[in-house]
Amino acid sequence: MVSKIKKKTLSFQDTIFNLQKYWSKKGCVILQPYDLEVGAGTFHPATTLRSLGPKPWKTAYVQPSRRPTDGRYGDNPNRLQHYYQFQVLIKPSPKEIKKMYLNSLSSIGINHEEHDIRFVEDDWESPTLGAAGLGWEVWCDGMEVTQFTYFQQMAGVECKPVSVEITYGLERLCMFIQNKKSVFDLIWNDEGITYKDVFHQSEKEFSAYNFEYANTDNLFKIFEMFEEETKLLVEKKISLPAYDQCLKCSHVFNILDARGVISVAQRAEYIARIRELTKSIGKVWIESQS
């Protein structure tokens, strides 16, 4: 693979740099990933909590995202239990957001006049966050590369003003740019390091952990502990630490789900419990904003 690299191919890390530079010029606060396990960039408090309340806010950041059930031991060319999202959140949603987005694609080498860019209906809902939005998934020549959402509700509260969230699936996007059939063949940097070099072992081992070794008895207990902690912190009216505990609940739940020890009925119940936590935190956060 290494010998085939063309000089001009945009590497995985350059893709990130370009997007960061682009959105930085648009006035976004460039943040670093949140330091807890989350399922998507949306869970970063810079999105969930900051999308609530009246204060304007613009941010962009990379967020490692964990989806334990999607692990395939590194065997599947398109699936990972750990992957990267590039997330942009702007409140209130600017008038020219579509133009900004299309130009951001140009900054990573995708010219919308040469490709079939489509905005395909995809309304979004997150039962654990008590959130819902309307928008699209953006297709580039048939491949989904971005989620584009106008938040209507977050933590059970109606969003006013409305934020717009743009989430690029970085691996998908790079596979498109680099013309690769397997995520593991992605060129990470100009030195020829590939995605496989960086993450293959981790995919293998974490799949084993998520599906086989995670101690479910303990995890059930840990869930309860985090839940209790969240409630306590909500009472103390400190929303950010409370939210951290809630994120931990959410991740523990995801592992339990991957281990297949949560039945359909239980699943709904756990999701409802996390949603209740998020809602109570949202309330405390909004109070702190006024």
Partner 1 sequence: MSELFVELFSEEIPARLQVNARNELKKNIKNFFIDNQIKFNENFNVYSTPNRLVLHVDKIPNEIKLSSEEIKGPNVNAPEKALEGFIRSNNTILEKIFKKNTEKGEFYFFNKESRKIKVSDLLEKNLSEILKKIAWNKSMKWANYDLYWGRPLKSILAIFNKKPLNFDFSHINSSNKTFIDKSLEEGMKIFNDFHSYLKFFKQKGILIDQGLRKKIIQNKINEIINKKNLKIEQNDRLIDEIVNIVEKPAVIVCDFDKKFLNIPSEILITTMQSHQKYLPTFDKKNNLTNNFFVVSDIKDTKGFVKLGNQRVIEARLSDAEFFWEKNKTQNLVKQVDKLKNINYFKGLGSYFDKIQRMRKLSSLISDDFLISKDKIEIASSICKVDLMSDLVGEFPELQGIVGGHFARFQGFDKEVCLAVSEQYLPNGMESKLPKKMYSVALSLSDKLDSLVGFFGINLKPTSSKDPYAIRRMAISLVRLIVENEIKIKLKDLIVYTCSVYRDQGYEFDIKKIQNELSDFIIERLKNYLKEKKIRQDIIESSTFLLGLDDILKAYKKSLCLNKNIKKEIGIETIAAYKRSSNILNTVEKMSTESLGFADPGLFKNDYEKKLYKKINDIRKYFLSIGKDENYEESLKILSSIKNEVNDFFDNVIVNDEDIIIKKNRLELLNMLCKIFDNYFNFSKIEA
Closer of 163 and 230 to partner 1 (Cβ):
163
* Under rule CB under 8 A, residue 191 binds partner 1: no
* Under rule CB under 8 A, residue 136 binds partner 1: yes
Contact with partner 1 (CB under 8 A): which of 3, 35, 116, 217? 116
**Closest distance between partner 1 and the C-beta of residue 232, in Å?**
31
Whole-angstrom distance, CA of residue 39 vs CA of residue 35: 12
User: x/- binding map, residues 216-255, to partner 1, per CB under 8 A?
Assistant: ----------------------------------------
Closer of 140 and 234 to partner 1 (Cβ):
140
Contact with partner 1 (CB under 8 A): which of 92, 109, 156, 192? 92
* Under rule CB under 8 A, residue 265 binds partner 1: yes
By CB under 8 A, name the binding residues for partner 1. Answer: 76-78, 92-96, 98-99, 102-103, 112-121, 123, 134, 136, 140-143, 150, 152, 160-162, 164, 176, 179, 181, 260, 263-265
